[in-house]
Amino acid sequence: MSESQTLLLTDVVDSTWLNETLGDAAMQPLWQAHDGVARQLMATWHGREIARSDGFLVLFKSVGDGVGFATAYHAALRSLDARLTARVGIHVGPVSLRENSELDRLRGAPLAEVDGVALPITARVMATGTGGQTLLTESAVAALGPSSMRVKSHGHWRLKGVGEPIELFEIGDEHSAFEPPPDSAKSYRVVRVAGEWAPARKIPNNLPAERDSFIGRADPLGTLEDLLDSRTRLVTLLGIGGIGKTRLAVRYARTWLGHYPGGAWFCDLSTARDLQGIFSAVANVLDVQLGQGDPAEQICTTLAARGACLLILDNFEQVARHAEAALGVWLEHAPQAKFIATSREVLGIAGEQAQVLAPLTAAEGTELFTRRAAAAAQEFAATLVNMPTVTALVDLLDGLPLAIELAAARSRVLSPTMLLGRMKERFTLLAARGGRQDRQMTMRSTLDWSWDLLPAAERAALAQLSVFEGGFTLDAFEAVFRFDGEVSPSTPLDLLQSLSDKSLVRQVGGDRFDLLQTVQEYASEHLRAAGRFLGSGAEAAQDAERRHGEFFAALTEAQVTGSRCVELGNLAAACRRASGRGDHAAAVQTLALAWAALELRGPFKLGLDLAMSVLAMPGLPSASRPEYVRGAALYAIGRMQEAGSAFDVALAASREAGDPSREAEVLIGLGALTANAGRTDEARTHLSAALALARSSNASALECAALNNLGSLNERLGRTEAAARDFEAALALARQVGNRRWEGGVLGNLGMVQMAQGRVAEASASYEAGLALARELGHKKWEGNALCNLGLIRQLQGKTESAREYLASSLQLAREMGHARLQAFVLCNLGITEESASNVEAAQEHLDAALAIAVELADRRTQGQILGYLGLLHCKQGRTEEGRRMIDAGKAHLEAIANDSDLALLLCQSAEAHFLCRDPQSARSELARARSLVGQPTGSAGTSELESALDRVARMLSQEVIGAG
């Protein structure tokens, strides 16, 4: 007996290609994960699995359940592997459910079979879809009813074996492209023409055939469709040459061809140079014989007669000035016609909607390279080993499709690593080989096309913009730009606007612009070569670089750090160039400003490299500032001995120069270094002297730094009350003078004291406040510290997953910055977290890595702490001799620096180790010593890590006594 059912079919798209790409060994666990998550979701959404072949056939109680399963299923596949996509078809119709016999099941048959025409309809609907799509029939949409999810009709489709066309709908979330699927042998879109259903593919058109697969661009394609689906009738696709404007326009036309029963026409205007050239090219494409009348009106009459039609006008930039005389007329008098213009500059006519086409995303670019490289060289395999290299290569290629395709074609002879190493030969590398003869045969030729259309002043402007690294503002451009030593016929603002309109300059923020790397290198070549524009050549390049350096050397530290360190690239470039030309003052000043940014966000190694380039300059008069930066950078990356030597040189130079502020700065660096090395008396002397100098110089930021470091020293020694006073004084000063940078940093350190005192809620609030400030200001170092500390709090609260998330984020930041000490702290906290989750191997791996860094840093306190955790872990695993040795070594470190609270915690760990070794007497002795160090009364349980450890060991020993009794 038949009854109406909701049928759902799935199919993994391109599974054979993925299997060949990954290999059988990697694909098998992926299939297992796929099947496992699909079946788990079936249970969640009340689905009954009927069959499994290339996909699943599932019956659901309602269409809503089926849609819920499909949405969750697509999301699950994205989390498993971005390349793993599936299509889903849902239909509601009458079926008969036939249970198989037990014997048939033993022979491999499923539990039941589905009979009825609804099953092949569902199969056709599913097979029509593309990766990531969920398609529904009219009956399924009707049964679903109102939905909070987006539902979009893709028109009527003729399905093989089904009598009448069926309207298909797509349902999805923000990850869905909502693009009509392509025609296939078993399904194709149809439209009503003269009362009859006709294949949409037979709609008249001259669209170029796609030579290979279209990859990515879901968002811009959806945006283009949304615009033309509204009242917009002219969309100008804007972008630099090679970014894929033409490919996107043609893809749209083919995908939505059914919207234009009057036809879709592609017209290449690359050879047009005037209005008559536009008319001739369009008339030729539309098969219009131009007579004696107005050609614009003759073409308009043809367009109007065709009704709902689409005209793509490719390469409009060189005839943009004639847009109103051509497109303007057609827009006005052919009301059903719609137009897409591809151009490197806006047309500037009424009714135009510009859509700027951005480069491919990293994922899209990586997939494009992988596919094209595999087509060019059969032996190319996108393994996990070379994927990071491919992604880095795509980044250097600016995500430009043409550049990526040209590079991928080189895979016949060059591996991704070799390609990456040759990127300095970018324009030689990015040249097509073989029979291709169009103007985009090379990246150079497509840029030459844009360059040739520029007037003289714009050529000079673009060339001089190449001296910027990491973007620029209008003010910076005004400071750098010169036009052959004379006044430009256009203002810098006009030039910048025009270059932006022509897609050669990108606006990347409210007042910030940049060049793609490819454009920058091209423009730099023109700046340095004579004869490329009025005044170009080596001298012009040197002058532009000098003006660039002067502008950035004149910035203040507050300007540099107050803008989220956005000018770091320019400051680093200015410093290198000044060092190269022997400009001492500019080199030292830009180094100081670059370090002000690097100190907040890293990478610290760059600070060291810049300092070394400045120190290598002949005749450098005073090494105070460069030596301090060298010392600070060496300290941050963990090279302590070299850092100390650099600080000593910087201290002597600052005293010789009679500069108390610089002397205080160096003393703070020395104080931090000696404190970490366990030379606490020496550290206090340095920091106290720095505090006095900062106060006498009225340098509030240095005073905050000195107080903060004194607080850290006292916290290191377990003197929490004194540490709290120092931190609170620093915090009050920071707030008084409005120094939000130091406010955020001190809040984090104050949280450490609150944690040590067992005030967990207050500590968490301090860390959260510090984290918010760090993120607001772009202070990655403070952000990493706060995340690390919050991770430890979450671990102590038993929130393991949350702890892992915080600590993983902190570790990533630490590695990006090259911050050695933070890496050690995070790894230690990760070890503690994994041990609490009984992941012993992971815990030991993290703790071993943390200890190795602490040894390199010669940080006795951190070594002592880690050795305690690691030693107890070994004892718990039965490696008691090694564990006891580590705990004793940790004691030696902490006793040497006289940190009572850290030593008390380690003594608790030692007591646990003795207890595990069946030596309760020694355990009691260690516990008693720990209590004597911190004055903890017997049986008092607290909330800090130390108090919890004291309580845990006391309970352990009391249970031992009870057991003995």
Q: What is the token pair recorded at 629? A: 């930066």
Q: Are strands 187-193 and 150-159 parallel, antiparallel or unpaired?
A: antiparallel
Tell me how far CA of residue 143 lies from CA of 48, 67, 153, 628, in angstroms: 19, 12, 15, 73
Q: Which residue, among 815, 829, 896, has the nearest Cα to 859 in the 3D structure? A: 896
CB neighbour list of residue 520: distance below 8 Å, 6 or more residues apart: 465, 466
- The DSSP secondary structure of 119-148, one letter per residue, reads HHHHHHHHHH--TT-EEEEHHHHHHH-S-S
Q: At what angle do helices 568-581 and 604-615 cross, to 10 degrees?
A: 20
State the DSSP H helix or E strand holding residue 473, giving kind and residue range, or none if neither: strand 472-473
pTM of the model: 0.76
Residue 587's closest CA among 529, 626, 543, 558?
Answer: 626
With residues binned 3-state (H G I as helix, E B as strand, rest as coil), the percentages for the chain, rounded to 5, are 60, 10, 25
What's CA 424's distance to the chain center, in Å? 24
Please tell me the distance from the alpha carbon of residue 591 to that of residue 947, in angstroms, as a whole number. 47
What integer pLDDT is reported at residue 472 of this predicted model? 96
Tell me the DSSP string of 351-410.
Answer: TEEEEEPPPPPHHHHHHHHHHHHHHH-TT----TTTHHHHHHHHHHTTT-HHHHHHHHHG
Rounded (10°) angle between helices 63-80 and 24-44: 150
Residues sharing a CB contact under 8 Å with residue 876, sequence separation 6 or more, in sequence order: 840, 883, 916
C-alpha 590/C-alpha 804 separation (Å) is 39
pLDDT at 939 (0 to 100): 36
- pLDDT value for 824: 95
Find out whether 885 and 872 touch, Cβ atoms under 8 Å: no
What is the C-alpha to C-alpha distance for residues 235 and 386, in angstroms, rounded to an integer?
A: 39
Cβ atoms of 350 and 254 within 8 Å: the answer is: no
Q: Which of 796, 830, 795, 833 is nearest to 810 (CA)?
A: 830
Q: What's the CA angle centered on 683, arms 680 and 688, to 5 degrees?
A: 125
CA distance 343 to 353: 12
Which ranges of the chain have pLDDT less than 70? 1-2, 104-109, 378-385, 432-441, 485-488, 936-943, 960-965
- What distance in Å separates the CA atoms of residue 883 and residue 865, rounded to the nearest whole number? 14
CB under 8 Å to 155, separation ≥6 — which residues? 167, 168, 180, 189, 190, 191, 200, 258
Are 550 and 570 in contact by the 8 Å Cβ rule? The answer is no
Residues 6+ apart with CB under 8 A from 473: 511, 512, 513
- The CA distances from residue 295 to 300, 301, 325, 351, in Å, are 8, 10, 11, 21
**Residue recorded with tokens 């001995």:** 641
DSSP labels for 550-568? Answer: HHHHTS-HHHHHHTTTTTH
Sole residue written with tokens 């510290």: 785
How many Å apart are CA 608 and CA 206, to the nearest integer?
60
Question: CA geometry: angle at 283 spanning 323 and 291, to 5°?
Answer: 105
**Between β-strands 187-193 and 196-199, what pairing exists: parallel, antiparallel or unpaired?**
antiparallel
The H or E element spanning position 52 is strand 47-52
